[in-house]
Amino acid sequence: MKPATLNLRTGDFVEVKSPGEILQTLDDHGTLDRLPFMPEMVDFCGKRFRVSKRVVKTCYYGTSSGMRKFPAEDVVLLAGLRCSGEAHDGCQKACTIFWREAWLRKVEGPDTTQSSVDPETSKWLRARLKISTGPKTYFCQASEILNSTAELSRWERVGKCFSEIRSGNCGVLEMTRRVATWVYWKTRKAVAGAYARGTQLSTPVESLDLHRGELIEIKSLPNIAETLDRRAYNRGLFFTPAMGQACGEKHRVEGRIEKIIVDGTGEMRQLRNTAFLEGSFCGCSCVAFGGCPRGEFAYWREIWLRRVEAASVEVASEEKRPEIAS
């Protein structure tokens, strides 16, 4: 029998169960209802965290409608926890980790005394967890997102907006803003075409060889449009409306991104001349009805950026940088 759901809400505190308890919930592939418990999650066992969001729906980067649900409705996000990619050949996608409620227990608050974890049991748990499906394909929560979720119908997407409010993920005004944002950009695309679209048939490349901590400025929209094709892509990477709103801002480089595991396939894709910026996230309410809780980093081509002098910088990301657990 499956354990009863905890009905967790934003702000609740939980403790990740012990490796032995986690083992009892997993099948032969190391999954629960097809959602993998990954090796990168083992070190969080016995520790306490705050629930940041209840996963009412989630986005998917692929060819479908993009919005999906976990049928059991028992998945949450914990504040600051992202996948390090360490067990998956150093994947740099830094996905927000999905947690089944069966892997958690509700607690009263952030206790500084953490439960002790048996190293041997942790070792057994790691040994049970599947990492790859072939020499160039990987097994993780991103690769299995299609298998562990179901596509939302049009009316379900509307209903999920109300569920987001009931779960405590956001308020009525915030959801109204998200829906209005989606309607605006959907209408604009239908009337005027892709935002920031360019005219390039073969989009250009520029390498800045950026490194973590460097200070950059996002170029103006006209300059960026010169690097895009008619669909607003540069070498297969979409320049989103949310990214356009950041033009002219100054940020620190969070890091270069050179390889990511693709949602739904497990393929490791190589990237060049691309970076994460501190405080810069996908802003998916522009393209996903009602938004999504995943909080994925936005991917920035280096040709869209320029270095600036440190003395002249007022960094936009200082107030936006999220807490990310190590």
Does residue 20 carry a pLDDT above 70? Answer: yes
Residue partners of 249: CB distance under 8 A and separation at least 6: 217, 218, 316
pLDDT (0 to 100) of residue 325: 40
Burial 221-256 (b: 16+ CB within 10 A, else e): beebbebbbeebbbbebbbbbbbbebbebbbbbbbb
| DSSP letter string, 185-215 | HHHHHHHH-STT----SS---------TT-E
How buried is 213 (Cβ within 10 angstroms: 0-12 exposed, 13-18 middle, 19+ buried)? exposed
Which residues share a beta bridge with 313? none
CB 117 within 8 A of CB 16: no
Q: 174 — phi, psi (to 5°)?
A: -65, -45
Q: Are 6 and 106 in contact (CB under 8 A)?
A: yes
- Residue given tokens 């901590």 in the structure block: 213
pTM of the model: 0.89
53-101 pLDDT, tens digit each: 999 999 887 654 578 999 999 999 999 999 999 999 999 999 999 999 9
Query: pLDDT digit string (tens) for 37-50?
Result: 999 999 999 999 99
3-state helix, strand, coil in the chain (%, to 5): 25, 20, 50
For residue 71, count CB atoms less than 10 angstroms from its CB and return exposed for 0-12, middle for 13-18, buried for 19 or more. Answer: exposed
Cα 270 to Cα 257: distance, rounded to the nearest angstrom? 9
CA 238 to chain centroid, in Å, comes to 16
* Mean pLDDT calculated for residue range 95-110: 94
Strand order across the beta sheet in which 58-59 lies: 58-59, 67-69, 150-151
Please check whether residue 214 is in contact with residue 252, taking contact to mean a CB–CB distance below 8 angstroms.
yes
The residues, ordered by sequence, that sit 6+ positions from 65 with a Cβ below 8 Å of its Cβ are: 151, 152
Q: What percent of the chain has pLDDT over 90?
A: 76
Tens-place pLDDT, residues 144-201: 999 999 999 889 999 999 999 999 999 999 999 999 999 999 999 899 988 999 999 9
Beta pairing partners, 132? 138
Instruction: Tell me the pLDDT band of 230, cut-offs 50, 70 and 90.
Output: very high
